[in-house]
Amino acid sequence: MNKTALKHWWGTPLVGLAGGYLASQIGWPLPWMVGSLLAIILVRCLTPWQLAEIPGGRKCGQWVVGIGIGLHFTPVVMEQVLAHFWLIFFGALLTSVSSVIGVWLMRRSGEDRATAFFSSMPGGSGEMVNLGARNGAVLSRVAAGQSIRVLTVVLCVPAAFKFLLGEGTPTLHPATVNIYWMVLLLPAGALAGWIWQRLRQPNPWLFGPLLISASISLLWDLHIGLPEGSSQIGQWLIGSGLGCHFNREFFRRAPSFIGRTLLGTALTMLIAGVCALGLSVLTHLDLRSMTLGMMPGGIAEMSLTAQTLQLSVPLVTAMQVMRLLFVLFLAEPLFRYWNRHHGN
């Protein structure tokens, strides 16, 4: 291994572990993700030590988390999800449309149309940067806006859920671990992630393993889970990777842009919460799961929050995936329509 590269990232897993451990000791929700994320941000902002991302670390975390999420999909649960397809569709659409408020805030402060649009869409960071590049956006600001949105949701939503809405209903029977299925699922999930990446599909190391795991769980009606500690490892690796996107210069670069992004994200979250309350009253579905499914965060982070708080992981995952599909397929055509008919 290149010694120069090792010098930049060898401390990342250690700092992440220390942060995760401290967060777990004080009872913070998603401690191994939030703790490692905050610890690495603090080190990178307050010291000269610019920790680098562990090579392949975040992908590995998504691989583990994707398999764990997929195992929540059983035939009975999938029937319930499909029975509420239009609710999932409508909830995801509302979240996507609410991002217009972020675009409006950016435009009011002078951002160009492409940068305002793609930095405010609640899609994957990499995918929005790619779309922004094709349409003339300022890529550094698109990446910054996407990173701030995910950071805000990850830091605020799990804490708000735990301390304001309380814990979910405990599961009566913890999922058993089947070593034979694990031997099949882990390499199959890694292969699926690699193929998904080669096909240039979004979020490959989460979606590939998730699809394989969910398909096998549905076909064989599995009622199993990952070994104890697997979720924490996935959280730690994802949180450590996210933290490496922030440093002192990031927060100094454009404070007004960061402020507008935070305000837009907060308003989108508020709209999502109000809409989730209305849909929950109409359908009598669990308010916590509905709200979490409509939050403009990452799929892995929101699904992990649902798992930690013992909510409906498949419902949350389905709503998050539907929102991402809306944004990926509709963002660019809508932007080009807007640009063509309302251009200056």
DSSP state of 229: T
Q: Which of 28, 14, 69 is nearest to 216 (CA)?
A: 69
pLDDT for residue 172: 41
Tens of pLDDT, residues 317-331: 999 999 998 998 899
b vs e for 20-30, b when ≥16 Cβ sit within 10 Å of the residue's Cβ?
beebeeeebbb
What is the arithmetic mean of pLDDT over 244-272?
A: 90
In a domain, 33, yes or no: no
Which tens digit of pLDDT belongs to each residue from 26-79? 988 889 999 999 999 999 999 999 999 999 999 999 999 999 999 999 998 889
The number of helix segments (H) and strand segments (E) in the chain equals 18, 0
Position 13 in a domain: no
Q: Are 39 and 46 in contact (CB under 8 A)?
A: no
Distance CA(287)–CA(12), nearest Å, equals 37
Q: Assess if residue 50 is contained within a domain.
A: no
Identify whether 7 is part of a domain. Answer: no
Instruction: Answer yes or no: is 280 within a domain.
Output: yes
Contact 331, 142 (CB under 8 A): no
In a domain, 40, yes or no: no
In a domain, 47, yes or no: no
For residue 100, what pLDDT band results from cuts at 50, 70 and 90?
very high
**Cβ-count burial 227-254 (b if 16+ within 10 Å, e if not):** eeebbbbbbbbbbbbbbbbbbeebeeee
**pLDDT above 70 coverage of the chain, percent:** 95
**Token pair 């927060």: residue:** 251
- Residue 261 sits in which domain range? 59-342
Identity of the highest mean pLDDT range in 120-129, 162-171, 188-197: 188-197
pLDDT at 167 over 60: no
pLDDT of residue 343: 59
pLDDT category at 171 given cuts 50, 70, 90 is: very low
What's the total number of domains in the chain?
1
Rounded to the nearest angstrom, the gap between the alpha carbon of residue 344 and the centroid of all alpha carbons in its chain is 35
Whether the pLDDT of residue 344 is over 90: the answer is no
| The two structure tokens encoding residue 271 | 């709209």
Which has the closest alpha carbon to 66: 233, 224, 213? 213
Closest of 32, 18, 39, 38 to residue 64, by C-alpha? 32
Average pLDDT, the chain: 89
